[in-house]
Amino acid sequence: MYGTQSKIDLALEYQSQIQILRPSIHSRRANLTVKFQDLYGFTVEGNVDDVNVLNEVREKVRERNRVWWALEASKGANWYLHSTNIGQGGGRALKSSLKLSSLANAITLKRLIRQGIPPVLRPKVWFSLSGAAKKKSTVPESYYDDLTKAVEGKVTAATRQIDHVRTDNNNNVFDIHEIWDWFSDHHLLWGLTLLAWFPLDLPRTFPGHPWLDTAEGHAALRRVLVGYSFRDSDVGYCQGLNYVAALLLLVMKTEEDAFWMLAVLLENVLVNDCYTNNLSGCHVEQRVFKDLLAKKCPRIATHLEAMEFDVSLVATEWFLCLFSKSLPSETTLRVWDVLFYEGAKVIFNVALAIFKMKEDELLLTHHVGEVISVLQRTTHHLFDPDDLLTVAFDKIGSMTSNTISKERKKQEPEVMKELDQRLRRLNSLNVNGK
């Protein structure tokens, strides 16, 4: 397809030639693409090796379960709440007599979290360690219910974007016959009774997922997104959050907990203004990322720069969707395990790791399309989270939240200046154009 073939392409070609000469069960199996469901119900396409990797991951998850249960048995339930927080999540004031044991707990905890929280414990552990529980405890018990009731039926810019209702055909988005036709086409006649409206950005969030892509899933996702848009009107609704909130719903199981996780993520874990107005926070993160790539992976950075390939072309989506659109679900959630405990710097570790893992292949690319295909192939097939996280935390070298904050401060003025200039140019354009 591209002018220069990468090593992988050549290897694949070679492999397929062998297959023609001497077809073996093994080579046929390896090339067979199969569809299967992963741990969180997503349909993935891969070869038999991928299926095997995923089975190994399932086994590792069971092993993690045993480890965590054993710790609960020896240290007591919720032992992890009594650890000095060495990451960025919500810490607790502790009595000095407890300090030593809590520090030991904290060290164990950091290591354990990097090795992965078992999916069954995720809702509980995330909720406490991220600070979501604390955030929730500062408002009345009925906050979420009251919020969803209060916003029901309200129309704002955010709800219009979530529902994809346009102002100019607001009253007649879809008529009943169309809804009927759609459900017939999709063999979902029963859904007709559940839906009074027909939102569009909701079915566009992980379409085909066995729960998210149902009337019930759409309704829950909508309530979380709309609820949040009222909590913070600066963020309102930003595309990208639909994927994040959807995964939170899958993990947390209850809408209310997913809502609080979204709140703590946007208000405490991530850098400010990632999703607001002109995504200025995201622009800052991208610049910091480029600098870090140049420092941590100088050969790749130089090679890509010579090709005039801007890493933001691919990394923007990683930062805004927190990898949920690129990595397999369990791998994404393993990243989030660490994200909620150690903070937003984790996104840099992981993004750098993706490049680092494929250094040799990337250095052989000659074209934008090749770079993107290497990165996409890599991310989509990272079924074993440890492959990625080992590189992210052991091979990138340490980066403290502090250094990253300093980097951000350095980049901020330039980003604001540029965004402002762009806005002014566009405004002058409109004046001249009218």
Q: Contact residues for another protein (CB under 8 A)?
A: 1, 3, 161, 164, 166-169, 182, 185, 200-201, 203-207, 238-240, 242-243, 275-280, 283, 287, 290, 305, 307-310, 312-314, 316-317, 320-321, 325, 366-369, 372, 411, 414, 418-419, 422, 425-426, 429-430, 433
Report the nearest approach of another protein to the CB of residue 278 (Å): 4
Number of H helices, E strands in the chain: 21, 2
The CB-of-162 to another protein minimum distance in angstroms stands at 11
Tokens of 28: 């046929």
Report in angstroms how near the CB of residue 300 gets to another protein at its nearest.
Answer: 14
Q: Is 310 exposed, middle or buried (0-12, 13-18, 19+ CB in 10 A)?
A: middle
Compare residues 70 and 200 and give the one whose CB is closer to another protein. 200
Cα–Cα dist 157/163, whole Å: 10
Shortest Cβ 357–another protein spacing (Å)? 20
Q: Give 77-80's long-range contacts (Cβ < 8 A, gap of 24+).
A: 78/128, 79/105, 80/105, 80/109, 80/125, 80/128, 80/129
Cβ closer to another protein: 359 or 418? 418
- Which helix (H) or strand (E) segment is 43 a member of? strand 43-46
Whole-angstrom distance, CA of residue 174 vs CA of residue 195 = 12
State which residue, 48 or 215, has the beta carbon closest to another protein.
Answer: 215
Alpha carbon distance 44, 83 (integer Å): 38
**In the complex with another protein, which residue's Cβ is closer, 265 or 389?**
265
**Min CB(270)–another protein separation in Å:** 15
d(CA 139, CA 13): 61
Least distance (Å) from another protein to the CB of residue 181? 11
By beta-carbon proximity to another protein, the closer residue of 112 and 351 is: 351
CB of 418 to another protein, least distance (A): 7
Based on CB atoms, which residue is closest to another protein, 161 or 332?
Answer: 161
User: What gap in Å lies between CA 193 and CA 215, rounded to an integer?
Assistant: 10
Residue 213 and residue 429: Cα distance in Å, rounded?
Answer: 42
Torsional class of 73: left (φ above 0), alpha (ψ -120 to 50), beta (otherwise): alpha
- Shortest distance, CB of residue 343 to another protein, whole angstroms? 22
CB of 302 to another protein, least distance (A): 13
SS3 46: strand
Q: What is the DSSP string of 374-387?
A: HHHHHHHT---HHH
Q: Is the Cβ of residue 73 or residue 200 nearer to another protein in the bound state?
A: 200
Residues 6 or more apart from 349 whose CB is under 8 A from it?
A: 392, 393, 396, 399
Burial class from Cβ neighbours inside 10 Å (0-12, 13-18, 19+) for residue 221 reads buried
Q: How far is the CB of 204 from another protein (least distance, A)?
A: 4
Q: Give 254-265 as a DSSP string.
A: SHHHHHHHHHHI
The amino acid at 414:
E
Alpha helical stretches, state H, 265-297: 280-296
Q: Which C-beta is closer to another protein: that of 243 or that of 260?
A: 243
For residue 44, the cross-strand partners are 36
Q: Is 36 helix (H, G, I), strand (E, B) or coil?
A: strand
Residue among 115 and 286 whose Cβ is closer to another protein: 286
| Least distance from another protein to the Cβ atom of residue 92, Å | 36
Distance in angstroms (rounded) separating the CA atoms of residues 152 and 167? 18
Q: Is 246 exposed, middle or buried (0-12, 13-18, 19+ CB in 10 A)?
A: buried
Nearer to another protein, 46 or 203 (CB): 203
Nearer to another protein, 30 or 155 (CB): 155
